[in-house]
Chain A
Amino acid sequence: MKIIDYPQFEEKVFQKVLSNGLTVTLVPKNGFHKTYANFTVNYGSVDSSVISADNKIIHKPDGVAHFLEHKLFEKENYDAFELFGKLGADSNAYTSYTKTSYLFSTVGNVRECLETLLDFVQLPYFTDESVEKEKGIIAQEIMMYNDDYNWRLYNGIIENLYPNSPLSKDIAGTVESIQKISIHDLYACYETFYHPKNMNLLVVGAINPDEIIEWIEKNQQNKNFSLFQKIAHEKSLINEEYEIIPYRMLEVDTKRPKVAVGIRGNGNLPAGRMGLIYKVALNLGFYLLMGESSEAFNDLYDTGVIDDSFDYDISMGRGYHFCIISGETNNAEKLTSEIIKLIKVAPEKLSKSEKEFQLTKKEFIGRQIQSMNSLEGIANRYEGSLFDNAMSFDTVEILKKLTLIDILKAMEYFIEENNMSVYQVLPKEEI
């Protein structure tokens, strides 16, 4: 097992790639009660196609990855969710654009929980009847999100940035698309993507790494996996046939307008750790530009254009990266134009921000260390293969080495003339 030592933080990370290809990362945390495990497959809502035996690309209905996530818990003789409950543990799962994650957190019965996690994810069992029943539940879930205007805003801006690409589809699919999902679709996607080579397991908390790796290996030795087949991962999610939709809006029954400005990264995401450096640099760049201590934020705040809901978020995954700047406002027009203006002057503004940059670096380093207080904080910052298994401990080193030039280069690479879009959720006009 590879050991990566971080003496400054009194932390160690243990890593091993098992013979079946599964990447295991272990982070023991002294003094903690809980153990948190996250079993992730490099497969999400955008991976909507599989390759058939005769090498044809077959498109599956939208929402299969998320549907699979729901259905894997259910087994012939048991329900994994219930089993975790009986062990006194909490379990959960979530699907994103490019990943599906299954997790548990527990204080006791760590071995039983680990085995339950590995087994329920690696031993699929679907029936027509349970697939039909799940459709009602997922339809309710989709409808619930429909009532959430922040969700509508987010989805709206993503659809603008990536028209017709798989990213523009809701992760859960639509009430209509999920009706088309069959047991056959579930098995086809499962067989394609849920291979140990395409997965990673992270365990963090009150653990002994030697013991944990032994348990995991024993469990894996009892299972046979077919050869890893070709995956129809979407290479790039930028659909060049369709240009960015510059503007759309939605009128709903609300009192306060909401604005989102999206920026689509058109260049490729740098590979491995370089990707993480790029992400950190962009985060810092946007913070300098419009974070809480920036001039722009304070001007807009004091003049009543924005409030504490104003935020920016940089998202990166396999094949895509974008930034969403959003907030509630009483003046949607003003907020929109101010954000766009700010992005346009970014290089000039940032080049004069050496003093602020040094201060922000200090702040980011401190925040990164704060995040090590929480098992979830450590787990959520782990992106698996995307950033070459980097941990939050590595991010501190990246921050220390970062220069203002790096920030400028990253921002220049990211921001282009025509890669911006606006989406607004506005109050319905009174009739």
Chain B
Amino acid sequence: MHISLKPGVNLSVVKTKQFKTTRIAVDFVAPLKSEALTKRLLLASILENSSQKYSSQKILTEKLAQMYGAGFGVSTERKGNLHALSFNLECVNENFLGTTENLLDQGVNFLREIIFKPLIDKNKFDTQVFERQKEILADYIDSVRDDRQLFASIELNKLFFEDKAQSMPSFGSIDELEKITNEDLYSYYLDSIKNDQIEIIVVGDITDDQAKKIAFDFEFAKRVPPKIELFYIQKGTDREKKGIDYLDVSQAKLNLGYSLPVFFQDNEYYAALIFNDIFGGQPLSKLFINVREKASLAYYASSSYDSFRGFLTVKTGIKAKNKEKVLGIIDAQLGELKKGMITELEIETAKKGLKNSYLSQLDHQSVVLNRALFNSLLGKSFSEQEWMEKLNEVTIYDVTQIARKVHLEASYFLDGELKNENN
């Protein structure tokens, strides 16, 4: 079921007996803005760790324990041009506990406390909580470079995107964090509660009426959220942007960024999925086989496709001295795809693999929930059958056409200093 409760407030319900828990998400959806990335992440941490009623992390986790260890979290996600601040709760269906307690009701009440009654001090958040969460976020941003794979991905993203909100890491930046004052953040919170688009999603063994009651009980007011163009479309460039850094690593990272201007559920979307699968999307792909297996040059070599930003990335971990060789192999693989050097077997294998992963994902409650969210945001839903049919229709020619649209625009190399020169 998918209904609009009020203008700007939507409810999606997926009824299923597959899981032993009921999952509820309340998502605040807003247009992506560079200055709001860090703000919304900090807001998520503050709201996750305290509220008026549950005034410390200890009291809060005790409450969750009382609800038989209900799962709870507040998270953020950047997707295309939108940003979602998401409150999630997962509680065990009472039938499996032999208790008469109504855990779902308790869970919903808990979420309401968290969302609407934060721990505040007049016109700002509790100072101690604010300062501590700010510190934790700063530490996290600082530690990102310890994860070399993540660091290289972030640097490539910076190189590739022109728009600030897209080029920044999803957590924003230290500079943005330092600018945030407690009063600012609180007023930003009040604004979000009032104006963000609200998406409520419930997945579990529940009736439509129960779900509707839950959703209405949140008492969100009607609102007129701005219309969001879901997809971020960047004008292509002919110039390849290059970046290089030197860090103390024994394995160098070479990441490439391509534009692939095909978006989620476009006519060519399914061909793009198959293209990515054959190119570097899975361990039997051309990249994996040729860079890792045949040339023994890398531990990992893969591609991924972001259909909300028309962005294709290749990631590899290699020996620094093999950089040119690896670049050559990657380019040759793309060249083969452009020339249509694809076998029927490769296409069939890709289709089987993609179907397998699509259906497998339905065994994860969180993915079922996420799909319901995106259907709601897109304003249309896609049946399993439709998905399979469209995938089946893709031909070698279609994939070739996709390959020809792929265009290298950025490359980033994380080099391993002098110590690897004799490798």
Contacts and interface: CB of A to CB of B under 8 A. Distances in A.
A374 B143 contact: no
Given A32-B363, A253-B248, A107 B17 contact: no
Given A144-B251, A256-B139, A360-B65, A136 B362 contact: no
18 contacts: A8-B96, A9-B96, A32-B18, A33-B360, A33-B363, A85-B284, A86-B349, A107-B360, A137-B296, A146-B250, A253-B248, A293-B65, A307-B140, A328-B139, A362-B68, A363-B64, A363-B68, A373-B19
B322 to A, nearest CB: 10
Contacts of A253: 247-248
Contacts of A330: 139
Contacts of A88: 349, 352-353, 355-356
B345 A86 contact: yes
Contact of A31 (B17, B71, B319): B17
Contact of A370 (B21, B146, B352): B21
Interface string B236-272: 0000000000011111000000000000000000000
Contacts of A136: 296
Interface string B133-166: 0011001101101111000000000000000000
Interface residues of A, number: 63
A125 interface: no
Given A140-B317, A374-B363, A90 B139 contact: no
Interface stretch (A49-57, A60-68, A298-306): A298-306
A136 B16 CA distance: 48
Contact of A366 (B61, B67, B283, B362): B67
Contacts of B83: none
A293 B58 contact: yes
B207 interface: no
A146 B21 CA distance: 40
Nearest to B295: A136
A148 B250 CA distance: 10
Contacts of B139: 256, 307, 328, 330
B299 A364 contact: no
A140 B18 contact: no
Contacts of B405: none
Contact of A369 (B96, B284, B299): B96
A292 interface: yes
A140 B146 CA distance: 19
Interface of B: 16-21, 56-58, 61-62, 64-71, 90-92, 96-98, 128, 132, 135-136, 139-140, 142-143, 145-148, 247-251, 282-284, 292-293, 296, 298-300, 317-319, 345, 349, 352-353, 355-357, 359-360, 362-365
B69 A107 contact: no
Contact of B58 (A32, A82, A295, A304): A295
Nearest to B318: A140
B57 A372 contact: no
A270 B128 CA distance: 46
Give the one of B21, B58, B64, B90 with max A CB within 10 A: B58
Contacts of A373: 19-21, 365
A101 B357 CA distance: 21
A81 interface: yes
Interface string A357-377: 001101111110110111100
Contacts, number: 165
A363 B317 contact: no
Contact of A147 (B69, B249, B353): B249
Contacts of B357: 90
Contacts of A294: 58
A287 to B, nearest CB: 10
- Would you list the 3 A-B pairs with minimal beta carbon distance, nearest first? A366-B68, A88-B352, A31-B18
A143 interface: yes
Interface in A224-249: none
Given A33-B363, A85-B353, A88-B353, A365 B97 contact: yes
A359 B59 CA distance: 12
Contact of A81 (B21, B251, B284): B284
Contacts of B98: 8
Contacts of A144: 251, 299-300, 317
Interface in A76-98: 81-82, 85-90
B362 A33 contact: yes
A217 interface: no
Interface centre among A34, A88, A148, A301 (most CB of B within 10 A): A88
Given A88-B356, A147-B250, A302-B56, 10 more contacts: A31-B17, A33-B359, A105-B360, A107-B360, A140-B298, A252-B248, A293-B65, A330-B139, A362-B68, A370-B20
A144 B250 CA distance: 7
Contacts of A363: 64-65, 68-69
A107 B359 contact: yes
A256 B143 CA distance: 6
A397 to B, nearest CB: 13
A102 to B, nearest CB: 14
Interface string A110-153: 00000000000000000000000100110011011011110000
A255 interface: yes
A21 interface: no
Contacts of B318: 140
A301 B56 CA distance: 11
Given A34-B359, A255-B143, A293-B65, A366 B136 contact: no
A366 B345 CA distance: 46
